[in-house]
Structure 1
């Protein structure tokens, strides 16, 4: 199989010793570099109440990135409809399209907790740990992470849900939200017009981590789908399979189109890359524990972390599926991911403590992949 396009997912990480303003400036610099390196699109994630990530308002960061670049597509990965209304999203992205016509991607997701949703009961959606498997292509698929129920019951998530909604507000079913959003874009919503937004030339994507509603709705509507190997590697294959099984041709796509994400760190050699990636495990632990993302640590700070067996189990699926090594090592592993999932495009997310190392990681991968 020939190489597929590579794109960038940026969480706007805050590193130890820096701050949110510095992280946002580095995002703009990285986007400029990614454009020069030949990456197809640059997506910004939405996260809230995480001290270690600064991408809480994708539309605002998209505007800064799009203004600093000229060719690369820029979008959200993803706007969380559980916290928003379809009208507010269409209006925001209509403004972006007006400023940067033909370059804006609108990636949509639900959220960890929609407005008005009841927290899951203890043990809901959780199962005991199992054994990981390897696909015929050699991709490691770990047991699905079983701690999301505990995560969304954490005090931080409770507080986040409180602050991201008006008192008494409830989120409509996701399918209804998508229907309203498309009606507003098309100008067919009864008694309502989104200006700007109506007729906007935005590319709409659905993001999902499992074979559930997001994958099925993306397929039924004939939209491109982004599957998260970097967030939920244990369920990526079922997500892609569910999307393809549900797919119906549309004016947007005649055939399914899948992008698959991966956590990547590339260094001059394997040992250097492992050193650059040393902060990843404690950073993931801070998120998975419900405390919120810490500022991304230096390798020295990471080595001071005291690990328990529970800590190791908490992050094992993410650490074991991070692609770390020389450009050749990582490119080979990405090729395996592509073959196993049938991905039409790969979405690379890289975090290192030093911004220069992060830019260099993307450059080395681009050269090995043939983008440069």
Structure 2
């Protein structure tokens, strides 16, 4: 199947981290049965509503709970770790579950300085081949939030300096292939599949292309720049031992239910949750539809989340599958990475099940 899953191990309102992690293990088993190709875990810190703070640990648990589905990171934040530590972690998992592990890497905090530097120029949204490309979100204000600088200081040793991203990726490749002067054990010779994740046409896309690695572009996080990201990657691509041709995954936020009204009801809390992220508070526990109804939205609040709400795929199985095919066609994606968050775990499982059924009949 050309559908895969990105899971944040969401902690819901009234729930606990333990419940969220048990739900992740349950969803991974079911995703394997539904036929999904990959199951990726995100890395987020200081978020009350997200339990996936240590993806390597969680990947090991998910791999142990499943038997066939590929399991990986979407993505390890390389700015907070050394290439050696990442390769050793994923080499250890691969030693136990060989040939099933994906190492997805992102620039994370390394891009924060760029985002804080300036606001994007005014730009109107547009529709390309039936796919909405909204105006760019202004990250500059959020990137300057004092919470982010404080959190970044806690994720690294005092005085630590993060090397250039390209240098770090070259070190990861060298450790995996055994061409580094030092040897990572476990890690050297591991069968992990190395991925680069990116939200723009910047360094991540360039590095992925120039090194002939597969690339994952974020429509669900940064929908305005997804086409720039995949275009930059393809233009920079050079064949490698890993890939003869470019390979792209594109992500999407999805909620599927048996009817439109139910899907819209399940999707209600999403805007309030995104608002908590974009105000710099950090992802709150995922609200109930009733909590979402109780929130009084200001014009500023609505503007803060509009691009994410407008580009979410919500509806019946066939309708969402059709819209996802548009996303795949317009971006030229080889695979789609879908992420679904609902307050009740059963609704989330059912959403993935319905989508798999509809997609299988169209893929």
Shorter-normalised TM range: over 0.9
Q: Alpha-carbon deviation of 1:120? A: 6.1
CA–CA separation in structure 1 for the residues paired with 2:290 and 2:121: 34
Equivalent pairs counted in the alignment come to 362
For each residue in 1:290-317, what CA deviation from the matched residue of structure 2 results, as whole angstroms up to 9, or x when unmatched? 0000100010000111111111111010
Could you tell me whether the CA contact under 8 Å between 1:120 and 1:153 is conserved in 2?
Answer: no
Higher helix share: 2
Gaps of 5+ in 1: none
Q: Which residue of 2 aligns with 1:52?
A: 49
Could you tell me whether the CA contact under 8 Å between 1:259 and 1:343 is conserved in 2?
Answer: yes
Could you tell me whether the CA contact under 8 Å between 1:112 and 1:152 is conserved in 2?
Answer: no
Q: Alpha-carbon deviation of 1:128? A: 5.3
Q: Which residue of 1 aligns with 2:120?
A: 127
Could you tell me whether the CA contact under 8 Å between 2:115 and 2:143 is conserved in 1?
Answer: no
Could you tell me whether the CA contact under 8 Å between 1:37 and 1:371 is conserved in 2?
Answer: no
Find 1:34's aligned residue among 24, 31, 36: 31
SS of residue in 1 equivalent to 2:207: helix
Could you tell me whether the CA contact under 8 Å between 1:277 and 1:352 is conserved in 2?
Answer: yes
SS of residue in 1 equivalent to 2:108: coil
Gaps of 5+ in 2: none
Q: Which residue of 2 aligns with 1:215?
A: 205
Q: Which residue of 2 aligns with 1:165?
A: 156
* 2:255 is equivalent to residue 258 of structure 1: no
Find 2:74's aligned residue among 77, 100, 119: 77
TM-score (norm 2): 0.97
Q: Which residue of 2 aligns with 1:318?
A: 308
Q: Alpha-carbon deviation of 1:140? A: 0.3
Find 2:175's aligned residue among 177, 184, 203: 184
Find 2:258's aligned residue among 242, 250, 268: 268
Find 2:275's aligned residue among 262, 275, 285: 285
Find 1:108's aligned residue among 105, 110, 113: 105
CA–CA separation in structure 1 for the residues paired with 2:125 and 2:253: 18
CA–CA separation in structure 2 for the residues paired with 1:209 and 1:304: 32
CA RMSD of aligned residues (A): 1.4
Could you tell me whether the CA contact under 8 Å between 1:74 and 1:104 is conserved in 2?
Answer: yes
For each residue in 1:228-259, what CA deviation from the matched residue of structure 2 results, as whole angstroms up to 9, or x when unmatched? 00000000000000000001111111111000
Find 2:83's aligned residue among 66, 81, 86: 86
For each residue in 1:114-158, what CA deviation from the matched residue of structure 2 results, as whole angstroms up to 9, or x when unmatched? 7xx8x5696x231355321000x2000001111x22222212212
Sort the Cα spacing of 1:184 and 1:16 in 2 relative to 1 into closer, same or farther, 3 A: same
TM-score (norm 1): 0.95
* 2:141 is equivalent to residue 150 of structure 1: yes
